[in-house]
Chain A
Amino acid sequence: MADAQTAKDRDFEKGLDGSSTGVASFDTHSRSLLDQIQHTLHSHPAGVPLIVLLASVAGFGIILGSKFFSPFALTLILQQVAIVGIVGMAQSLVVLTAGIDLSVGAIMVLSSTVMGHFTFRYGLPAGFAVMCGLGCGAFCGFINGTLVSRMKLPPFIVTLGMWQIVLATNFLYSANETIRSQDISEQAPLLQFFGEKINIGGAVFTYGVIGMILLVLLLQYVLNHTSWGRHVYAIGDDPEAAELSGVRVRRTLISVYSLGGLICAFAGWVLIGRLGSVSPTAGQFTNIESITAVVIGGISLFGGRGSILGMMFGALIVGVFSLGLRLIGTDPQWTYLLIGLLIIFAVAIDQWIRKVAS
């Protein structure tokens, strides 16, 4: 009886017999130009910031000539961007998981303070002090990650609190004391390692810049060519789906925040090289600058989209505008105004690209 009924119920499917057997053939209709651009950007998220970067370099090059378009000026941009670029990588990792890290700048400064004061106050070997500083940064990140993933607290709140705690610890611990550049270069030059320079025909590369470039390449590789990297994207995309399809979400989140903290501590070391001294009041704007680089670089604040290369281009765009406008001699407020416009433009583009979903 059931069989007969089943057969009857299948009658309506008879029409299928002659139909094509391919099920979900992908359409290859020619699309409009705008659609194609949208699709290209969807699969190459660093495209927009790269174009903007090249256009702004070309623009300032035309306006300013060799004053801007020289190896010296161009590599100066790299030097000025190094700190934000490195901290931006930590920020990118967190933002890719659909989080945000407001404590990056504070972790960077605390780590540099630890490196300096461990060396000068306790007379520890500089190498060991640097390790302690790096460990301190990773530990702060680990706390962030644990609170976010195990206690399920919103990243914004956790890192807002962490920012205050770490910054206060930094001031209390350092007693607001700066360690002078001269003392460092005499007694612990290792702390200033990333300030060293190599000069190639007018182009000046600090070790900090080289460190930044190597790190960005390393992270680009890790995010795209290892399981961990794919999981970071999957978590930012949809944490529940990631968990159900076999990603250890909590463990990965903790590793993301810890690595972020470690990278911030590394930025703290580079910061000593850049300033020469260890100053607990340095890097006050690094937070907001790193978020700016991430947004202009096309990483979606909703998580799961964007690339670390894009963030690097974003940081460079800000660097190009700052130096270019300074060389032209405009009021620096114009820089902020333009960067504000870029941020809004970048978010609008992000929204548009996300609409590609059918």
Chain B
Amino acid sequence: MTRDTSKREPILTARGLVKRYGRVVALDHTDFDLYPGEILAVIGDNGAGKSTLIKTISGAVVPDEGEIRLEGSPIHFTSPMDAREAGIETVYQNLALSPALSIADNMFMGREIRVPGFFGKYFRKLDRKAMERISREKLNDLGLLTIQNINQAVETLSGGQRQGIAVARAAAFGSKVVIMDEPTAALGVKESRRVLELIKDVKARGLPIVLISHNMPHVFEVADRIHIHRLGRRHAVIDPKDFSMSDAVAIMTGAMEPPENAQAA
């Protein structure tokens, strides 16, 4: 099912993206394709430019050159807010949570709900009850957390719990694309498993997912295709069914030439 991508139109494409930080070339004319309903893993060495790549897609970084298209039409995000309004949700490597604010505040940051009627309209009063209820529901639905106090400050949670909140937020609100930059990096075995299940759930809802990870077993378990990033550009795209983990790592580190047909996939 995933092999035959050539017949379908990608939902998200990037062509010739360049991003320089002074002399460092983080992205060097890289391409990117994401197809509807698939899980695309992005792997690469530290500093290969994976985070920068997804940041250009999520509006957090504006590329110096290149073109990004969402569902065929060019997009020019200048802030993460723009990408979110277009339905792209992202879990950043640094999580992007406000530590002193509550779980509910964080879940709804930038998309707060107001109370219906007069107070909401003229006094812009927030509907805390609704936001707390929905946050609790989302966290429970996703089987990610059993919450006792949704008003607990995020800084009082453990690293793994925080990552859970960030993942749940993206999964709950993404409507077109969900991007996760190392969502299991801080998680224990059990918590990682939950996040992998969650990724599959999101896929089952029909949403495509971009998963950045250094964890090869995780990548090979869930990915439909693997985008191998090397030195700021797309080095190869492979099907996990055709390659072993050690092959993938060899391609990633440059020890093995990428296969001919994989380049274009």
Q: Which of B100, B128, B151, B194 has the most CB of A within 10 A?
A: B100
Please tell me if the beta carbons of B112 and A230 are within 8 angstroms of each other in the complex.
Answer: yes
Kindly list chain B residues whose C-beta atoms are within 8 Å of the C-beta of A196: none
Given contacts A234-B98, A358-B158, contact A227 B124 (CB under 8 A): yes
Residue A26, interface by CB 8 Å: yes
Closest to A300 in B: B100
Closest to B246 in A: A5
Kindly list chain A residues whose C-beta atoms are within 8 Å of the C-beta of B190: 16, 19, 23
- Binary contact readout A210-225 vs B (1 if CB under 8 angstroms, 0 otherwise): 0000000000010001
Bound complex: CA of A227 vs CA of B125, how far in Å? 8
Stretch of A53-61, A235-243, A272-280 on the interface side:
A235-243
State the total of A-B contacts with C-beta under 8 angstroms.
148
Kindly list chain A residues whose C-beta atoms are within 8 Å of the C-beta of B241: 2-3
Please tell me if the beta carbons of A42 and B153 are within 8 angstroms of each other in the complex.
Answer: yes
Kindly list chain B residues whose C-beta atoms are within 8 Å of the C-beta of A39: 156
- Binary contact readout A1-40 vs B (1 if CB under 8 angstroms, 0 otherwise): 1110110011011001001011111101000000000010
Please tell me if the beta carbons of B92 and A244 are within 8 angstroms of each other in the complex.
Answer: yes
* Residues in B43-90 with C-beta less than 8 Å from chain A: 60, 79-81, 84, 90
Nearest Cβ on chain A to B148's Cβ, whole angstroms: 4
Given contacts A6-B221, A241-B95, A243-B80, contact A230 B105 (CB under 8 A): yes
Nearest Cβ on chain B to A24's Cβ, whole angstroms: 4
Kindly list chain A residues whose C-beta atoms are within 8 Å of the C-beta of B105: 230, 234
Given contacts A241-B97, A244-B92, A247-B110, contact A26 B149 (CB under 8 A): yes
Kindly list chain B residues whose C-beta atoms are within 8 Å of the C-beta of A245: 80, 96-98, 106, 109-110, 169
Q: Is the interface of A mostly helix, strand, loop or mixed?
A: helix
Residue A207, interface by CB 8 Å: no
Residue A51, interface by CB 8 Å: no
Bound complex: CA of A226 vs CA of B123, how far in Å? 8
Please tell me if the beta carbons of A226 and B124 are within 8 angstroms of each other in the complex.
Answer: yes
Bound complex: CA of A23 vs CA of B211, how far in Å? 21
Nearest Cβ on chain A to B246's Cβ, whole angstroms: 9
Please tell me if the beta carbons of B96 and A22 are within 8 angstroms of each other in the complex.
Answer: no
From the candidates B106, B112, B217, name the one contacting A9 in the complex (CB within 8 A). Answer: B217
Bound complex: CA of A24 vs CA of B158, how far in Å? 9
Please tell me if the beta carbons of B244 and A1 are within 8 angstroms of each other in the complex.
Answer: yes
- Binary contact readout B147-179 vs A (1 if CB under 8 angstroms, 0 otherwise): 111011101111011001000010000000000
Nearest Cβ on chain B to A8's Cβ, whole angstroms: 9
Nearest Cβ on chain B to A6's Cβ, whole angstroms: 5
From the candidates A2, A42, A228, name the one contacting B243 in the complex (CB within 8 A). Answer: A2
Closest to B173 in A: A246
The range of chain B's interface size is 35 or more
Residue A304, interface by CB 8 Å: yes
Please tell me if the beta carbons of B99 and A2 are within 8 angstroms of each other in the complex.
Answer: no
Bound complex: CA of A43 vs CA of B151, how far in Å? 9
* Number of residues on chain A facing chain B (CB within 8 A): 46
Given contacts A10-B217, A356-B155, contact A241 B96 (CB under 8 A): yes
Bound complex: CA of A242 vs CA of B99, how far in Å? 10
Bound complex: CA of A358 vs CA of B158, how far in Å? 7
Nearest Cβ on chain A to B124's Cβ, whole angstroms: 5
Bound complex: CA of A161 vs CA of B109, how far in Å? 34
Kindly list chain B residues whose C-beta atoms are within 8 Å of the C-beta of A358: 155-158
Residue A117, interface by CB 8 Å: no
Given contacts A245-B97, A245-B98, A358-B158, contact A23 B194 (CB under 8 A): yes
- Binary contact readout B4-24 vs A (1 if CB under 8 angstroms, 0 otherwise): 000000000000000000000
Please tell me if the beta carbons of A357 and B156 are within 8 angstroms of each other in the complex.
Answer: yes
* Residues in A233-286 with C-beta less than 8 Å from chain B: 233-234, 237-238, 240-248
Nearest Cβ on chain B to A114's Cβ, whole angstroms: 31
Bound complex: CA of A5 vs CA of B128, how far in Å? 47
Please tell me if the beta carbons of B98 and A305 are within 8 angstroms of each other in the complex.
Answer: no
Kindly list chain B residues whose C-beta atoms are within 8 Å of the C-beta of A237: 98-101
Kindly list chain A residues whose C-beta atoms are within 8 Å of the C-beta of B137: none
Kindly list chain B residues whose C-beta atoms are within 8 Å of the C-beta of A9: 216-217, 220-221
Please tell me if the beta carbons of B153 and A240 are within 8 angstroms of each other in the complex.
Answer: no
Bound complex: CA of A237 vs CA of B100, how far in Å? 6
Given contacts A23-B164, A233-B101, A304-B98, contact A246 B84 (CB under 8 A): yes
Residue B254, interface by CB 8 Å: no
Nearest Cβ on chain A to B225's Cβ, whole angstroms: 13
Please tell me if the beta carbons of B147 and A26 are within 8 angstroms of each other in the complex.
Answer: yes
* Residues in B227-248 with C-beta less than 8 Å from chain A: 240-245
Please tell me if the beta carbons of A242 and B191 are within 8 angstroms of each other in the complex.
Answer: no
Bound complex: CA of A13 vs CA of B221, how far in Å? 13
Kindly list chain A residues whose C-beta atoms are within 8 Å of the C-beta of B245: 2, 5
Given contacts A241-B94, A246-B110, A247-B109, contact A2 B101 (CB under 8 A): no
The 7 closest A-B pairs by CB, nearest first: A246-B110, A244-B96, A9-B217, A357-B155, A24-B161, A237-B98, A227-B112
**Can you spell out 22 A-B residue pairs with CB atoms less than 8 angstroms apart?**
A2-B243, A3-B241, A5-B217, A23-B143, A23-B190, A24-B146, A24-B158, A25-B148, A26-B152, A42-B153, A221-B123, A225-B126, A225-B128, A230-B101, A230-B112, A237-B98, A241-B95, A246-B111, A356-B155, A357-B156, A358-B157, A358-B158
